Amino acid sequence: MEMDLLQHFDAYVAAEKKIEPKDWMPDAYRKTLVRQISQHAHSEIVGMLPEGNWISRAPSLKRKAILMAKVQDEAGHGLYLYSACETLGVERDDLIADLHSGKAKYSSIFNYPTLTWADMGAIGWLVDGAAIMNQVPLCKCSYGPYARAMVRVCKEESFHQRQGFQIMLTLANGTEEQKAMAQDALNRWWWPSLMMFGPPDDNSPNSAQSMAWNIKRFSNDELRQKFVDLTVPQAELLGLTLPDPDLTWNEETGHYDFGEIDWSEFQRVISGHGPCNKERLETRRNAWDNGAWVREAAQAHAEKRAARRDAAGETAAA
């Protein structure tokens, strides 16, 4: 019986059909999705913090409005990703508890600090750019609710990327100080952005199964290469220098060769020892804990209201 279901499932997915919440699915498929979608949702929520850090200091009212709208979009992404995840039979509050306990992960990139305004440009351009590269294939992912959520996420992300690039362009064409600010941000965000595609293919434990299930479509290294190829000419247009002396065009492969990524840094940050890991998680925990009385009040009010309505109904009936 189980075997039949599994065969049917595999064939269904292989035929590029969408799995919906009420369909039968293997436990491991469900678990993989819960892990991936919740991790993605957590990344959106924690990812609000490094950029939220500059809302109060945005250098013009227009930039302030754009940044607020952008960070608000991230919250919206978190919201519909948590909702997509809930279709797999888990509760948002439990997922959040896993984030706060450190059991669930989020994208390591958000453990780096935002030190200047130029970081708002670099994050939009590079971090959102890398995210799009990772996420566009997910619009065709085999799990329906995730795929549909990603269509909207990707539309907004591509808007964010253009906004980020536009900040960089303004800075790169600005005063000497602004140019230096832009170059410094690029220097700090370039390598962590390349790390966003995950470990190299020969060291990526979850990849093969996710590929078979049509959750993942391209390998980490393929996506990373695509990102580098796309970004190099953009950096040239900005007149900024990518911080990699080994970066060269390879006539033969038709791609850019690039230098060795420091995977020990990746491991360090992922295991909790990046510049802001503790601070980011503490900020999220505080927001949640400080809001407990508000959530309790809303709950209590809803219950009292329902009770009053029932009581009024009974009186009317009598």
The residues that touch other proteins, with contacts defined as CB under 8 A, are: 45, 48-49, 52, 55-65, 68-69, 71-72, 75-76, 78-79, 82, 117, 170, 174-175, 177-178, 283, 286-288, 290-301, 304-305
The nearer residue to other proteins, 59 or 275, going by C-beta atoms, is 59
Q: Identify which of residues 191 and 288 has a Cβ nearer to other proteins in the complex.
A: 288
- Which is closer to other proteins, CB of 74 or CB of 244? 74
Q: Closest distance between other proteins and the C-beta of residue 97, in Å?
A: 14
Smallest distance, Å, CB 286 to other proteins? Answer: 8
- 65 vs 211 by CB, closer to other proteins: 65
The rounded distance, in Å, linking the Cα atoms of 98 and 104 is 5
Q: How far is CA 305 from each of CA 48, 295, 297, 302, 311, rounded to the nearest angstrom?
A: 34, 15, 12, 5, 10
- Cβ at position 242, least distance to other proteins in Å: 24
**What is the SS3 string spanning 268-279?**
HHHHHHCCCHHH
Residue 182 near residue 172 (C-beta atoms within 8 A): yes
Q: DSSP code of 83?
A: H
Q: How far is the CB of 114 from other proteins (least distance, A)?
A: 12
Q: Based on CB atoms, which residue is closest to other proteins, 64 or 148?
A: 64
Contact status, residue 230 vs residue 166, Cβ threshold 8 Å: no
Helix (H) or strand (E) holding 257: strand 255-257
Nearer to other proteins by Cβ, of 61 and 316: the residue is: 61
CB of 165 to other proteins, least distance (A): 15
Q: Whole-number minimum distance, CB 133 to other proteins, in Å? A: 25
CA distance 96 to 104: 9
Buried b or exposed e, range 136-175, using 16+ CB within 10 angstroms: bbbbebbbbbbbebbeebbebbbebbebbbebbbebbeee
40 vs 63 by CB, closer to other proteins: 63
Minimum CB separation from other proteins for residue 154, in Å?
19
User: According to the 3-state scheme, what is the secondary structure of 4-47?
Assistant: HHHHHHHHHHHCCCCECCCCCCCHHHHHHHHHHHHHHHHHHHHC
Burial of 85 (0-12, 13-18, 19+ CB in 10 A): buried
